[in-house]
Structure 1
């Protein structure tokens, strides 16, 4: 099926037939597609999708199916519910499973329950505006802006549903998460964080990978109250030292020698030498570790975060290669649940590693995905460093507090069978990254442009592979400036 334009008259007719709740659901379902129209009404949104070739009759049928307007399917599109279901099983879908899940939760929560959720959320986001009588979808959008809810971050919603005794809905989320672990992410439509939708300058237009944005909140006193500034914070002077007058305000300073520490942790053992040589050539001091246990992983990350050399460097890179799940790495001695990837990031955020404040922190993760078993625990292992003890309430909200800025997080997933089929082969994703960075001309590109080139190569390779061997890429970032991996 190819995308083709839908008559404007048909869009107008359908929009007129929908009530306000149905329009809100459709707008939520379509949030990822037109990031430069974040406040559009439904007719504007559908019109923009149509003009850009992103809306077909099949896509329109899917939207009506998702809001259960089967009468309009029959009357306006001359199709039936069963036919749409067959098409959804056969062709790529317009809407991600995550957005469908949130709409289903919205439909099954009554007004009183949503107000209870809003009240419970005060434990997690006491300063976020949580007006009564919001719909669940409006609450979800607010949480997306804080990076507290995303396709892979649903623990907060689960805990709140548990507290209002909607165990049935909590189980629905757990089922979604289990299915997401086994499904290739390349089959999912892209996800764009609600904050990113309001910042089109950070949006990578039509990337073939999912992209989201974390944001760092900054409090400012306002008439005796506290307001939250969610816009990017522009800093013209590198926080860790004196800025060079030659560095443009919209670029990160990259002049230190070395440019930074590059930490490589390879629990598979196939890529260390290639990566070490590559990042030494780029200008980094490379520290390599192989075959770490969970305890050794925690100790290595802790020690790396405390290195005094960070204060004299302009950036930091961490590369992890391991079997794992979408949210954890297994190291060499611990399968499920493994070591939380969120915990890896947390070692190097500004609060844990002040000497990296305001400096770009880059993470490249190659995850060989292992399917969960029935014995998998429900939570990820998190080990605290000696100097990072946290109280019970902080642990409960660990994954929900948006502290990170200046982070670039590129994660590549491929089924572990690819590794088992060729145990000594390099990761195609990391091989391409190294090849691009070794090319003097390619290295002059911004990091985001380098990643687009990386995506192109990986997804071109997927065309010639069996679906079980497809590499899928996910990019999140909170970069506030342009970043070039060359002195500037």
Structure 2
């Protein structure tokens, strides 16, 4: 017999005490804990969680707390509300914050407001069945099935609340987004080598909430903005063709100096169209050092790589919140004794926080692929393309390769670069580093 952590009679007793709306809320809260039981009733779900050893008395207490049945906490579980709150304050939570948020919103909506939401959603999901008595939670489940709403994808709901003048609920969502973003920013950075990237089902970093959605949405048209800044001039054409073929709106710029690139990055980061796209790609090709790029200038400090990413994090570019941001950098490294010791760069924002010595900060949903090779490689073949970028384009052009997630594709890219290094002088070898804080798998359309 399977060992149960909660006596069956308690589950039965609690289920008997709940009304229809409370049962619906509890089923919704458990949705990610037992995704295979999406159509089951509450008792079946609780029994299954208990048999799988996912349900404890503390977890059951949290469920009752979330549906505000404090009387059952005391009478059936002999637990006080304050005790449950103390557990939750220590982050001992069974239910993802996203589910809690939706239940809180559900409790704050009037029946006629839910009807208005259902009517508004017809513009976005015409095939969705809109029953008259459908609850807000039922609407959310339908939207989740259509991939229109997810823990990191709440813009549609915010727009609907704007239309019915529920600014208080928009603030709730924005507070949740901020807390999720802060949680991600303080996560440990992830450094992936070829072996790690090849491991099946490897959860490289946990999201600040646990959802049933395991991959990023990549369906918008265009798929996103792809910004290519090629200060060498040898790779633009093949990269433009590759990313245009993937469905990106590609913007190419050659031979920019640092101030021009800074202004272009700022301009693109401020575009409102990011809000309607599912991702963003930035590709930079330039001379530089380990922490900066020089563009067409030749200065010691250069343009900090840290700042490039900073322009597209959620704080600076809200339209990309929760969406994957991919950076591919090809640096031709100039020896220090050949670098000039001056900089004319005027960076927008808090320039005192920017230094060529600072490492790239941690941020959510970032994929950062940085390839370095000695500038002598470029000097020997001034018109040759980057082997790293050429291999990247070949892999992304292949529809069979695109069936694999970006980490698996990069693992193969890493192998190609490594194999290529075996045939050249050590001074001409490419060095490839991947850092990422992706929270889900990322697949390009095939």
Q: What is the TM-score with the length of structure 2 in the denominator?
A: 0.53
Q: Does 1:27 align with 2:42?
A: no
**Aligned-partner SS, 2:113:** helix
Equivalent residue, structure 2, for 1:170: 170
Q: 5 Å matches for 1:68-467? A: 68-184=68-184, 209-210=206-207, 211-212=214-215, 214=217, 287=235, 303-304=240-241, 310=245, 332-333=265-266, 337=270, 345=278, 380=319, 423=358, 447=404
Give deviations 1:178-220, integer Å, cap 9, x for gaps.
Answer: 3322222888xxxxxxxxxxxxxxx969886452464979xxx
Q: Give the superposition deviation at 1:421.
A: 10
Q: Structure 1 residues 79 and 48, CA, compared in 2 at 3 Å: closer, same or farther?
A: same
Q: Structure 1 residues 134 and 266, CA, compared in 2 at 3 Å: closer, same or farther?
A: same
Distance 1:73 1:421 in 2: 56
**Aligned-partner SS, 1:333:** helix
Distance 1:13 1:421 in 2: 63
Higher Cα radius of gyration = 2
Aligned partners of 1:161 and 1:167 also within 8 Å = yes
Q: Structure 1 residues 214 and 181, CA, compared in 2 at 3 Å: closer, same or farther?
A: closer
Calculate the aligned-residue CA RMSD, in Å.
5.5
Give deviations 1:107-128, integer Å, cap 9, x for gaps.
Answer: 1112111111111112222232
- Unmatched 5+ residue regions in structure 2? 188-199, 208-213, 250-262, 282-307, 328-352, 372-390, 392-400, 412-434
- Unmatched 5+ residue regions in structure 1? 188-202, 218-262, 270-285, 290-299, 319-329, 349-365, 382-398, 400-407, 413-417, 438-443, 455-469, 482-488
Q: Structure 1 residues 368 and 23, CA, compared in 2 at 3 Å: closer, same or farther?
A: farther
Q: Give the superposition deviation at 1:367.
A: 6.3
Q: Give the superposition deviation at 1:134.
A: 0.1
Give deviations 1:386-421, integer Å, cap 9, x for gaps.
Answer: xxxxxxxxxxxxx9xxxxxxxx96989xxxxx9979
Q: Give the superposition deviation at 1:372.
A: 6.7
Aligned partners of 1:419 and 1:425 also within 8 Å = no
Equivalent residue, structure 2, for 1:475: 440
Q: What is the TM-score with the length of structure 1 in the denominator?
A: 0.49
**Aligned-partner SS, 2:438:** strand
Distance 2:185 2:31 in 1: 18
Q: Give the superposition deviation at 1:380.
A: 3.1
Q: Structure 1 residues 370 and 306, CA, compared in 2 at 3 Å: closer, same or farther?
A: closer
Aligned partners of 1:264 and 1:287 also within 8 Å = no
**Aligned-partner SS, 1:11:** helix
Distance 1:73 1:85 in 2: 12
Q: Give the superposition deviation at 1:87.
A: 0.9
Aligned partners of 2:120 and 2:160 also within 8 Å = yes
Q: Structure 1 residues 306 and 67, CA, compared in 2 at 3 Å: closer, same or farther?
A: closer
Q: Give the superposition deviation at 1:54.
A: 2.0
Q: Give the superposition deviation at 1:82.
A: 1.3
**Aligned-partner SS, 2:440:** strand
Distance 2:361 2:174 in 1: 33
Q: Give the superposition deviation at 1:135.
A: 0.2
Q: Structure 1 residues 110 and 19, CA, compared in 2 at 3 Å: closer, same or farther?
A: same
Aligned partners of 2:144 and 2:150 also within 8 Å = yes
Distance 1:340 1:372 in 2: 15
Aligned partners of 1:162 and 1:170 also within 8 Å = yes
Q: How many residues align?
A: 310
**Aligned-partner SS, 1:475:** coil
Distance 2:18 2:88 in 1: 22
Distance 1:471 1:477 in 2: 12
Aligned partners of 1:29 and 1:99 also within 8 Å = yes
